Amino acid sequence: MRAPAPYGAGAIRAVGATGLEPNRMHLELTRRRLLAAMAGAGIGATLPLRAENSMDKTGKGLRRKDSIGVALVGLGNYATTRLAPGLQLTEHCHLAGIVTGSPEKIPVWQQKHGIPDANVYSYDDFDRIADNPDIQAVYIVTPNDLHKPLTLRAANAGKHVWCEKPMAMNAAEGQAMVDACRAAKVQLAVGYRLQHEPNTRRLMAMAREKPYGKILKVRAEAGFHAYDDVDPANKPWRLLPQHGGGAMYDMGVYSLNAARYITGQEPVAVSARQEIHRPHLFQGVDETMHFTLEFADGLVAECSTSFGQEMNTLRADCERGWYQLSPFQTYDGLKGRTSSGETFADAVRHQQAKQMDDDALAILRGTPQLVPGEEGVRDLRVVDAVYASARDGGRRIVL
Ligand code: NDP
C-alpha cells in the first residue's frame, strides 16, 4: 500500500458551486492580469480569453467556454486525492472523462464528478477517445511502465498528453513519446508539479541571479520510510521492477530534477550506489539510492532518495552563503531559508491546480509547455546512468 502521506499532508479543500459574484470577480481579475501580462509581453489581444459572457453553467457553477476537457487515466491515489480535487479549482481545464480498468470505480466517479457515460473508457476501448470532442487532453496517472504505451495511444488519438513522473522507464522510451507527440502535433507535458510552484521558481531564479555568488555544492534528498507492512507475496507495483518500481523512479527523480533546476545546469557525469536493508521486499528494485552529479564548472550535487529513510531537503552552498528549501517537495508548506536569515514560504492554493492550469493555458495559446516532454527525457538520461552505475559498483559514467 502507498505510504500515508509521503508527498505532504496538506488538506484538500472541496470546492462546490460558489456564488456568481466571487466567480465573476475572480475571472475578471484573472482576465485583467492576463491582458496586462500579454501587453507586457507584446502579445496582441487576439487570444480567445473570454470573460463572463462566454461561460457555461455546469453542476459545479460556471465554467469558461475556453476550458479544456481532461480525461484522467488511472484512478488511483494521486488521481483521486490530488488531481480530481485540483480539477475542481482550475479555470482553464476541467475533468471531462475517465479511463479505468476498475469497473467498480466508474459509478463513484461519474456521480461525484458528473461524468457522462460517453466519456468513460477502459484501457481496451481507450482509443475511441479520438472521436470525443469533450476531451482535449489526457492525464496519465498509472504505474510507470504504462506511461509510454498510453502516451502513444493518446497521441495517436489526437489528444494532448500530460504524463506523470517518471515520464517513462528509460530515456529511449521518453524520446519515443516526445517524437510521437510531435508527429501527432499534440503537446506533451510531464507532471513535475514543483516546477510550477512559487518557492521552487524562486530557487530557479536564484540559479540565474546567483545572489550568493557561484554555487559550489548542492544537496538534494527526497525520500520516506514505508512498506514495512507489505506482504512480500503481494507487493504493490512500486516494489516491482516490471512496473517501474524502486525509489529512484519514484522519489529519486525529484532529487535529480531539483539538482538540475537549482543549478540551472545539466550534469556531465554521474556515479551511484544503492543500499538495500529489507531484501525480502526489494528484489530487482532499489530501496535507497545515493548518486553524485558532476557539472561542467566543477559543481557537485550529492543526491539521495529512499523508500526507507525520511529526507526532504534541497540546498545550495555558494561562495558567499547558502540557501535551501526544506521540505522542498511536499504538496504544500515548502519552506525556504538563506544564510542571511531570510525565510520564505510563498503560498500556492493547490499545486496540481496551478500545474494543470499552466499546462492548459499552453494548449489554449499554442505556446510551449513549462515542463515539456524533453524535460522528462533529460532526467531519464541521468536515471539510466544512475542505474547503470549502481549495477556496476559505482562506476563513474560520463553523460
Ligand atoms: P496508484 O497505485 O495509487 O494508482 C495507479 C492506478 O493506475 C491504479 O489505481 C489503476 O487505476 C491504474 N492501473 C492500471 N494498471 C495498473 C496495474 N497493473 N497495477 C496497478 N494499477 C494500475 O498509484 P499513484 O496514483 O500513487 O501513482 C500513479 C502515477 O502518478 C505514478 O507514475 C506516480 O509516479 C505518479 N505520482 C506523481 C505524484 C506527483 O506528485 N507528481 C504523486 C504521486 C504519484 P484504475 O483502477 O482506475 O485502472
The answer to whether 379 touches 168, Cβ cutoff 8 Å, is no
Least Cα distance to 100 among 134, 59, 150 occurs for 150
Give pLDDT, residue 65. Answer: 77
What dotted CATH number matches 21-39+49-193?
3.40.50.720
Give pLDDT, residue 30. Answer: 41
pLDDT tens by residue, 193-225: 999 999 999 999 999 999 999 999 999 999 999
CA atoms within 13 Å, Cβ hemisphere of 205 = 7
Mean pLDDT, residues 321-346 taken together: 98
Q: Which CATH superfamily is domain 195-348+370-398 in?
A: Dihydrodipicolinate Reductase; domain 2 (3.30.360.10)
pLDDT tier at 19 (50, 70, 90 boundaries)?
A: very low
Give pLDDT, residue 55. Answer: 62
Q: Report whether pLDDT(13) > 60.
A: no
Q: Which residue has cell 537549482? A: 262
The answer to whether 128 touches 155, Cβ cutoff 8 Å, is no
Mean pLDDT, residues 140-153 taken together: 98
Produce one character per residue of 238-265: b if its CB has 16 or more CB atoms within 10 Å, e if not.
Answer: bbbbebbbbbbbbbbbbbbbbbbbbbeb
Give pLDDT, residue 66. Answer: 85
Which grid cell sits at 161? 498528453
CA atoms within 13 Å, Cβ hemisphere of 60 = 19
Distance of CA 141 from the midpoint of ligand 1 (Å): 5
Amino acid, single-letter form, for residue 113? H
pLDDT tens by residue, 56-96: 656 556 677 789 999 999 999 999 999 999 999 999 999 99
Q: Report whether pLDDT(165) > 90.
A: yes
What number does the ligand 1 atom closest to the CA of 77 have?
A: 3
Amino acid, single-letter form, for residue 253? V
The answer to whether 117 touches 142, Cβ cutoff 8 Å, is no
- Cα–Cα–Cα angle for 305, 309, 311, rounded to 5 degrees: 60
**Structural domain spans, the chain:** 21-39+49-193, 195-348+370-398
Q: Report whether pLDDT(42) > 70.
A: no
Q: Report whether pLDDT(46) > 80.
A: no
Distance of CA 345 from the midpoint of ligand 1 (Å): 29
Using the 8-state DSSP alphabet, how is residue 363 labeled?
H
Mean pLDDT, residues 144-171 taken together: 98
What residues line ligand 1, using a CB cutoff of 6 Å? 2, 7, 74-79, 100-102, 105, 141-144, 146, 164-165, 191, 193, 237, 250
Mean pLDDT, residues 295-319 taken together: 98
Using the 8-state DSSP alphabet, how is residue 356 labeled?
H
Q: Report whether pLDDT(290) > 80.
A: yes
pTM of the model: 0.88
Cis peptide before 166 (omega within 30 of 0): yes
- The fraction of the chain above a pLDDT of 70, given in percent, is 84
pLDDT tier at 22 (50, 70, 90 boundaries)?
A: very low
Residue 266 and residue 80: Cα distance in Å, rounded?
34
Burial of 74 (0-12, 13-18, 19+ CB in 10 A): buried
**Torsion sign, CA atoms 78, 82, 87, 92:** negative
Distance of CA 353 from the midpoint of ligand 1 (Å): 18
Distance of CA 266 from the midpoint of ligand 1 (Å): 29
Using the 8-state DSSP alphabet, how is residue 199 labeled?
H
The set of residues, in sequence order, having a beta carbon less than 8 Å from that of 222 and lying 6+ positions away, is: 251, 252, 254, 255, 258, 304, 305, 311, 312, 328, 329
Least Cα distance to 329 among 167, 159, 141, 196 occurs for 196
Q: Which residue has cell 492548459? A: 360
Mean pLDDT over each residue of the chain, to the nearest integer: 88
Q: Which residue has cell 507495483? A: 237
Residue 399 and residue 396: Cα distance in Å, rounded?
10
Mean pLDDT, residues 269-289 taken together: 98
Least Cα distance to 136 among 66, 193, 75, 54 occurs for 66
Q: Report whether pLDDT(226) > 80.
A: yes
Residue ranges with strand state E in 307-394: 308-318, 321-325, 336-338, 343-344
Q: Report whether pLDDT(119) > 50.
A: yes
Which grid cell sits at 292? 553524485
What number does the ligand 1 atom closest to the CA of 147 have?
A: 32
Residue 28 and residue 22: Cα distance in Å, rounded?
10
pLDDT tier at 187 (50, 70, 90 boundaries)?
A: very high
Residue 210 and residue 323: Cα distance in Å, rounded?
11
Mean pLDDT, residues 333-347 taken together: 97
Pocket test for ligand 1, best of 81, 110, 142 (most atoms within 8 A of CB): 142
Q: What is the CA radius of gyration of the chain?
A: 21
